Structure 1
């Protein structure tokens, strides 16, 4: 994929072979269904979603689809058994293209990240309130 100045997700996905494009669109729809209020953007030249901060990114490759986010220790511990079947780093989960998309797992990931982002935002609001009261 040579182009790297994507303006939107459709433009990003258009450059992939049909089978990968279909998987990318499935991931996109799962995220939209699970987080309908999330804003869809391009960040780091890949699709990303913002919901009270960055929620999740996804990207396509010849052999896999990556879901990316700065995974917290709590996330990695909560999904330890689910993640055992995938190649995982502190910021990406590789979903092999030769396996069915784990749709229920993707939804769980998005819901968990939504909860994390809301909690993080609430903690910031409490901290800000405390500072302004001093």
Structure 2
């Protein structure tokens, strides 16, 4: 299988079927709203947002789900809400068969922004 490289986040999103494009576009919009100063790019073949010189979050689409990557453990209350979506190694996975909890995604990204501001 040949790895596909993307010149932009738009190219990445456009490579998916229409119904997944809608979800990825809404995910992108939610992340950008929670991190208005973040820069967008593509890293590791997926959309990436950086704040300053540090990666904030990655997101990606798959056949049956979308995911956020490199999400560390957060405060206990937020972590309790994330439990159904937690995967291995800091991954949050959201099934395409259920509504994506965009407000929860926004809160996660907001917390990641706050953490970067504290470090």
On whether the aligned pair clears a TM of 0.5, the verdict is yes
Structure 2 CA distance for aligned equivalents of residues 13 and 110 of structure 1? 20
- Partner residue of 2:45? 45
Change (3 A) 1:87 1:63: farther
Counterpart of 1:81 in 2: which secondary structure?
A: helix
Deviation beyond 4 Å, 4+ runs, structure 1 = none
> Structure 1 CA distance, aligned partners of 2:59 and 2:39?
14
Contact 2:71–2:92 (8 Å) recurs in 1 = no
Q: Which moved more, 1:86-95 or 1:17-26?
A: 86-95
| SS of corresponding position for 1:79 | helix
How many Å separate the matches in 2 of 1:16 and 1:94?
17
Give the root-mean-square deviation of aligned CA atoms: 1.8
Q: Is 1:107 aligned with 2:98?
A: no
Q: Which runs of 5+ in 2 are unaligned?
A: none
Structure 2 residue aligned with 1:22: 22
How many residue pairs get aligned? The number is 118
Deviation at 1:12, TM superposition (A): 0.6
Note the alpha carbon deviations across 1:92-115, whole angstroms, 9 max, x for none.
Answer: 110010111101101101100001
Q: Which runs of 5+ in 1 are unaligned?
A: 121-134
- 1:128 corresponds to which residue? none
